[in-house]
Amino acid sequence: MGKTQFIFDANKCTGCRACEIACKIENQLDVNTNWRRVVTYNKDQKPDQPYYHLSIACNHCEDAPCMKYCPALAIFRDNKTGAVIIDENKCIGCGYCSWVCPYDAPAFNFTKGVMEKCTFCNHRLEEGMTTACVSVCPTGALFTEQYESVVENNITGFPETGIKPKIKIKSIRKKNILPEFSQPYDESILSLLSEKESEPKIDVKKEWVLAVFSFIFMFLTSMFTAAEFVSLDLLPMPFLISGVMAMGISVIHLGKKDRAFRAILNLKNSWLSREILFASLFLGSAFIYLLIGQKSAAGLFISFIGFAALFAIDSVYRVIPKKEKSIYKNNQLFISAVFFIGILISIEISFFILVILKILLWLNNSRLSDTTTSKTKILFFYSKIVFGFVMPIIIGLTGYREYFYYSVISILASELIERFEFYIYLEPITPQSEIEN
């Protein structure tokens, strides 16, 4: 049995969504769960733009990022059919496979607490049948054939990120005629098509635990490193308890908390696994070092481990396909730690230079125009300005040494605000976002 790939002809698709319904019925999915979805370009049918539909599911990519980066090694490929499958008995429900997938294929099952997606109807392929979605397509817009070679699909709504998806999309005709379609379904079938409004793939309301976790580790790494150069009294037990609590609350993010241990299994490819390893090593070794109470070269090596943890945390988000490219945002924790260490060990003039540099970096990456679209974004934007820039500069001008720690607290508050802001603006590429933009 050879590997299979989807073929989709957007010129023939009428947007009837029969493929969606067939997928739901075949896999007994909840009404609000779509493993295959039809997205429409130019929904308002503006006369100066082409109008077409895309039927999108998991494309079982040759270089599938979901499988490569899964920290729990819960995703595998069926070598007979080429299907990429999630093993729900190994999945920890972290959602990372969804973040790195540009086709928005993996979805979280709130009942089971695990991720799930299109299986390529693997059970049907093994029996020599075609997929359920293909079997019901009334116009022949969707079908399958033997996988032969990698193709480029140059069409709006289908992100091309070099991961070799097993789908070939036939080009839209230049003068695409608007397809006419009359809905043939009765009310019972139409109920299967009802779905929730699209939600952001990464939502700060759900990921706040990750914001807090990453902020605490940035703070601990900065304090430990600064203590190697200046006199800072770090107590071993509070240091350890802070780190353990941070790692503990990060587990809240998982759908299967009892399987959290599996998150470290993919050190070869997953930055999430490496993040956990380096964070644990840093926390344990720093605690022992602080207990001993004597400075040595080992302290700088432990700091290096801490920065390795911060680099790994940044890298977790660096591999997510997104439109916005920024050195600052891709290395935010790493840069914030360097900045905060500089504040802790600097003299007065260096303090002002570092704060101004931070202002310039942040302003260069802030979406000033977006602040009018959301009250939350407005709140975070101005809070960052007040705590991160206005207050530290005023305190510094008033009396640097006397009020230094107030300035540090203000800057820390601004860094926490910036960490939450990071999740607000973190927008992975999806077919829907590509079409809407």
Q: Tell me the per-residue pLDDT of 168-207, one tens digit each, with 9 for 90 and over.
A: 888 777 655 454 444 555 555 555 555 555 567 788 888 8
Q: For residues 255 and 259, what is the distance between their CA atoms, to the nearest angstrom?
A: 9
Of 373 and 101, the one with more pLDDT:
101
DSSP secondary structure letter of residue 394: H
- How many other C-beta atoms can be found within 10 angstroms of the C-beta atom of residue 189? 14
Q: 339: which 2 tokens?
A: 């900045």
Task: Taking the CA atoms of 306, 311, 317 and 319 in sequence, report the sign of the dihedral they define.
Answer: negative
- pLDDT band at 285; cut points 50, 70, 90: very high
Q: Give the residue with greater pLDDT, 404 vs 293.
A: 293
Check pLDDT > 70 for residue 17: yes
Give the pLDDT of residue 332. Answer: 83
Domains in the chain and their CATH numbers?
Answer: 4-197 (3.30.70.20), 204-425 (1.20.1630)
Rounded mean pLDDT, 382-409: 74
Residue 188's CB: how many other CB atoms inside 10 A? Answer: 7
Highest mean pLDDT among 40-44, 106-110, 308-312, 339-343: 308-312
What is the arithmetic mean of pLDDT over 154-160? 80
How far apart, in whole angstroms, are the C-alpha atoms of residue 311 and residue 271? 9
Write the DSSP assignment of 145-173 as a string of letters: EE---------TTS---SS--SEEEEPPP
Is the confidence at residue 371, as pLDDT, over 50? Answer: no
Q: What's the pLDDT at 119?
A: 94
Can you tell me the distance from the alpha carbon of 375 to that of 54, in angstroms, rounded to the nearest whole number? 34
* Nearest-angstrom CA–CA distance, 295 and 224: 11
Q: Angle formed by the axes of helices 204-226 and 404-425, to 10°?
A: 140
What pLDDT is attached to residue 210? 94
User: Residue 237 burial by CB count (10 A; 0-12/13-18/19+): exposed, middle or buried?
Assistant: exposed
pLDDT over threshold 50, residue 286? yes
pLDDT at 7: 92
Identify the band that residue 300 occupies on the pLDDT scale cut at 50, 70 and 90.
Answer: very high
Burial label, 398 (beta-carbon count in 10 A; 0-12, 13-18, 19+): exposed
Q: For position 62, what pLDDT does the model report?
A: 92
